[in-house]
Structure 1
């Protein structure tokens, strides 16, 4: 009797396991055909439960990677669309100015003005391509941050010196507050350069400001870099998204630019264990603050 009962139990257990395996195969086939919402159901006490839960984890992980891939693919599609418009349009204009000057359509002072306009547009185009190159490099497997202990005060001063002629050329009043006291910070110098340049370029390209203030100070165990302007400001809704790649504010901001500069700055700050925030009020300007831990 015991043997018979044991045999029946064994038979039903095997039958249940076979049914569950068939269900697993059915679910996996469904997932293979594109339905990523399917999951394998199993009670915790069942023999196949560990296998079912492991397979569910694998399916979830696969779906998450697939979702990230689709998001990246969509971002790349948007980027290529932006690239097509934002590069071809100024390039066509640039060629038009140069052709007019070369073919004698304009002469004298007008010719000089056309050549100067073409020169400025060529520089704008180079800046745009530089940002694209930085973004592609930053999001590739080959990108690496090299952290070294650097003296942040002198490094910041050296970066800002190159901006002074640009401020003066664009008639932007500037104030720079850099202390004499040295601050030792673990940074990648090139990444720090790109962060500051992107924040300042954002002010010049988008804020319509005629004043900019840049300061470096110590806040507890961190250094704080502030970049403030008196420009048109950023709306509350736009402010939530300004560090997202390809995001461009819809109202009151210039269309010039790739929508990548602030995203690049944000990613670089994070990679160097810092933080970046923005505060703004429409009509009253914007303040960006970057914090990095002081070296031990």
Structure 2
């Protein structure tokens, strides 16, 4: 795409030959281009999951293995944020019927949400509940965030005060909701309080 070409040329530029001020301007251009690229990708995904012709293909898959792989993929990013992690995933397989790419996208979106908004810690818990799986993502939040209705996070383009200050688009959780519901599952958000700290908790339930 034209944007991919722009990014390519920006990254090919010889930074060493530039003055410090010009290098700083170049970095800003690269970051803004990458942000725009991410937005375009999310708009494309949103157009897909809201299309009348959109279908997810269910297959038998090991949810424990998929969650573990997604968490490992985000390990370095979350470690850079110096977040304390609590991850509880069964050692053995947890079989469900779901679309692999769709579920992987949902998990990635929720981990990205944690990366952006967690203050100091997060948890990911997977457990089987009578033929269903429950997958819980939680992270501590700033006190101001609790004043907002958690279910609004799934509305298209909704951005709370914290999201606006941290570059959120208001699309990731909307896409996740459509994907989960497309797999005949449910997703909801709530605020929890533990040991005097506020947490945002997002729970997914899939057969």
Please classify the TM superposition score into its range, dividing by the shorter chain length.
Answer: 0.7 to 0.9
Equivalence for 1:144: 55
Q: Which has the higher contact order (CA 8 A, sep 6+)?
A: 2
Equivalence for 1:269: 180
Of the candidates 180, 196, 199, which is equivalent to residue 285 of structure 1? 199
Q: What is the Cα deviation at residue 211 of structure 1? A: 1.8
Equivalence for 1:210: 120
Q: What is the Cα deviation at residue 119 of structure 1? A: 4.0
What is the rounded CA distance, in whole Å, between the counterparts of 2:85 and 2:22 in structure 1?
A: 33
Seen in structure 2, the aligned counterparts of structure 1 residues 177 and 121 have a Cα distance that, compared at 3 Å, is farther
Q: Comparing both structures, which one devotes a greater share of its residues to helix? A: 1
What is the rounded CA distance, in whole Å, between the counterparts of 1:103 and 1:124 in structure 2?
A: 21
- Structure 1, gaps ≥5 residues long: 1-90
> TM-score, normalized by length of structure 1?
0.57
Count of residue pairs brought into register by the alignment: 194
What is the rounded CA distance, in whole Å, between the counterparts of 1:243 and 1:202 in structure 2?
A: 12
What is the rounded CA distance, in whole Å, between the counterparts of 2:151 and 2:63 in structure 1?
A: 29
Seen in structure 2, the aligned counterparts of structure 1 residues 117 and 277 have a Cα distance that, compared at 3 Å, is same
Q: What is the Cα deviation at residue 192 of structure 1? A: 0.3
Of the candidates 12, 16, 19, which is equivalent to residue 107 of structure 1? 19
> TM-score, normalized by length of structure 2?
0.79
- Structure 2, gaps ≥5 residues long: none
1:181-217 Cα deviation digits (max 9, x unpaired):
2111000011101111111222223x25232211211
- Are the aligned partners of 1:128 and 1:257 in contact in 2 as well (CA < 8 Å)? no
Equivalence for 2:65: 154
For the aligned residue pairs, the C-alpha RMSD in angstroms reads 3.0
Q: What is the Cα deviation at residue 102 of structure 1? A: 7.5
Deviates more, 1:283-292 or 1:130-139: 283-292
Equivalence for 2:146: 235
SS of 2:125's equivalent in the other structure is: strand
Q: Comparing both structures, which one devotes a greater share of its residues to strand? A: 2
SS of 2:203's equivalent in the other structure is: strand
Equivalence for 2:97: 186
SS of 1:123's equivalent in the other structure is: helix
Instruction: Say which one has the larger Rg.
Output: 1
